[in-house]
Each structure stands twice: as C-alpha cells, then as structure tokens.
Structure 1
Amino acid sequence: MPSTSSLTGVPADPSVIPVIEEQAEIVTVHRQTGALRVRVESDVVDEALALEHLARDYDTHRVPRGLPVAEARAPWHEGEVLVVPVYEEVEVVERRLILKEEIRLTPRAHRASRHVAVPLRKERGVIERLQADGTWQEVPTDTDATE
C-alpha cells in the first residue's frame, strides 16, 4: 500500500503533486466616520451709495420800468432768462396800463453728491463638521481667508 502524508491525507506518491488555489473576496463595509451640514446665513448690511443730486434755483433781478403799454404781455424768455412782467393800473384822465417792473429769473444749476445708506442682503454658506464629542464646528473655506 502506498504511503500517505500524515499532514494532508494525500498519497506520498512522488508522481502526484497537489495544487492549491486561494481566492480573495472583497467586501465593502459602510460606516459613518463623520458628517457635514451646510446652512445659509442671511445678513442685512448698510452700504453707502454715492448719489448725485442736481437742483435748480434762480437768481432774481428786479428791473424797474414805469413804461406805459397798450396791453399786458405773457412772460417770455430772453435766452435762458425768464422775464415775468408786473403791471399796475394807474388812473389818469384815462386809464393806462403801465409796465411797473420786470422780474428776471436766471436759472442756476447746483450739482452735489451725497452718500445714502442702503440696506443690502448678503448671504454666506456655513459648512460645519460633526466632532467626536457630538458638537458641530465650522469648517473654514477659501473665501473666509480673503475676507
């Protein structure tokens, strides 16, 4: 009877060579190692805006006339100057219309700048990481370094 190997139970015949094959199996195990949460904060900030303001007023110059006229005339322009006639009736033997004075209005423009606070909403995203002790800690972002 041929002898057998005591370790493998395979015959110790030198012409028989046992072949053994190992196989690997990969198993994926999912486990939570941490957590992130994102929230959006909204703030209202006052930002100063420069506004340009254009105002117009008039230089007033009174010119006494005392001229008799046949009829009243509506206000008129002489270039940029607005001329507003002022009349009065005077009794003489006959009634006459006298141009008492002219009020001349010359426009002047004033340009000014002023700053007005305008409320603007700004939002920023906050990313927080769950810590081992159960608290949340904000994760710094690239934009936090530039602000």
Structure 2
Amino acid sequence: MNPSLDHSDAVDTAVTRVDRETVIPVFEEELSVAKRVVETARVRVSRVTHTHQQLVDELLQQEKVEVEHVPIDRQVEVMPSIRQEGDVTIIPVVEEVLKVERHLVLKEEVHIRRIRKTERYQESVTLRRQEAQVTRLPIEQPAVPEAGAQSNAAEPRKEYR
C-alpha cells in the first residue's frame, strides 16, 4: 500500500483552499500482475509394439453340385414344371417330335443335388499390440554456449513439454 494513504495527517497537509471551496485530493492504487512460464518437469513418451502368435481355428463350408441326366422318353401332354424332391431340384427337358400329330416327349430330367462339406482350417497368424510408455525426465539447466561453439541443432529432439 501507498504509505501516504494510510495516515490521516497526510490528507490534512494536502488540503488547499480555492475561493471558499476546500479541495481534497483523492488517490487510487493500481495493481500490475505479470506471469511467466516455468518448466516444472519433462516427459518422454515412447511406443512399444508387442507381438504374439494366435491360432486361427475356423470351420469352412464348401458346396458343390452334382448333375445327373436321367433318361425318361415318355410322351407328355403339357410342359412339366421344375420341382424339388428333398435336396434334389428336378428340371424337365422336353423336345418336340414331328409326327402326323405333334406331342411332347419327356426326354430326360436333370437332377441337381447339393452336397455340403465342412472341413477344419487352421493357420498361425501374428498379431501386434502397441503400448505407450511415459518416462519422467529431470529438468536440465540451460547451458551457456561458449564463444565460437556451435549448437547441435541438426539432431531433432523427441521430448515434449
């Protein structure tokens, strides 16, 4: 605090009279605050990659189709439709035969059977996992370079503040 504001007798001596008015000076204190950044610690963060083997054990499904031609050679009146009998799809194949009259002859049926097979598939694969490691470093005091000495600015630093 300003010592002149703490004493009442200081106000008495600063009072002046001007044309029957009394003038009393009024003072105000102001505060000025400054901040600066201070380094308190340093850390180094590095990344470590770990690998391990893991066995893949999966069942793979495979499907194949067997095609069988079944001769029929029977006359039919209308075109037969495609039909399903269990796991077999039957597709009729017809042919027109010329005679004095025309009629349909069922020449054959195509039987399609689906066969499913399951087999075990195994393979060893390499998996990677990364981990961050943080190391605290002591604060280094800045060294004053000697006259004519060159700094080692060509090497990049990997430390972060």
Equivalent pairs, count: 99
The CA distance in 2 between the partners of 1:72 and 1:80, in whole Å, is 22
Q: 2:57 is matched with which residue: 50, 55, 72?
A: 50
1:79 maps to 2:79 = no
Give the TM-score normalised by structure 2: 0.48
What one-letter code is carried by the residue in structure 2 that aligns with 1:113?
R
For residue 156 of structure 2, what is the aligned residue in structure 1? none
1:89 maps to 2:92 = no
Say what the alpha-carbon RMSD is for the aligned residues: 3.6
The CA distance in 2 between the partners of 1:127 and 1:61, in whole Å, is 70
1:95 deviates by 1.2
- Give the secondary-structure state (helix, strand or coil) at the position aligned to 2:103: strand
- Give the secondary-structure state (helix, strand or coil) at the position aligned to 1:74: coil
Give the TM-score normalised by structure 1: 0.51
1:53 deviates by 1.6
For residue 110 of structure 2, what is the aligned residue in structure 1? 103
- Give the secondary-structure state (helix, strand or coil) at the position aligned to 1:73: coil
The CA distance in 1 between the partners of 2:92 and 2:125, in whole Å, is 46
The CA distance in 2 between the partners of 1:77 and 1:66, in whole Å, is 21
| Structure 2 unaligned regions, length at least 5 | 1-41, 138-161
Counterparts in 2 of 1:46 and 1:98: CA distance versus 1, 3 Å: farther
The CA distance in 1 between the partners of 2:75 and 2:62, in whole Å, is 38
Matches within 5 A, 1:1-147: 37-42=44-49, 47-115=54-122, 120-126=127-133
- Give the secondary-structure state (helix, strand or coil) at the position aligned to 1:55: strand
Deviation string 1:77-107 (CA, Å, 9 cap, x unpaired) is 1122111111111101111111100111121
The CA distance in 1 between the partners of 2:124 and 2:81, in whole Å, is 46
1:76 deviates by 0.3
1:129 deviates by 8.6
What one-letter code is carried by the residue in structure 2 that aligns with 1:123?
Q
The CA distance in 2 between the partners of 1:46 and 1:69, in whole Å, is 65
Contact 1:44–1:121 (CA<8 Å) still a contact in 2? Answer: yes
Percent identity at matched positions?
Answer: 27
Deviation string 1:34-60 (CA, Å, 9 cap, x unpaired) is x97442224677855233221222222
1:110 deviates by 1.0
Contact 1:54–1:111 (CA<8 Å) still a contact in 2? Answer: yes
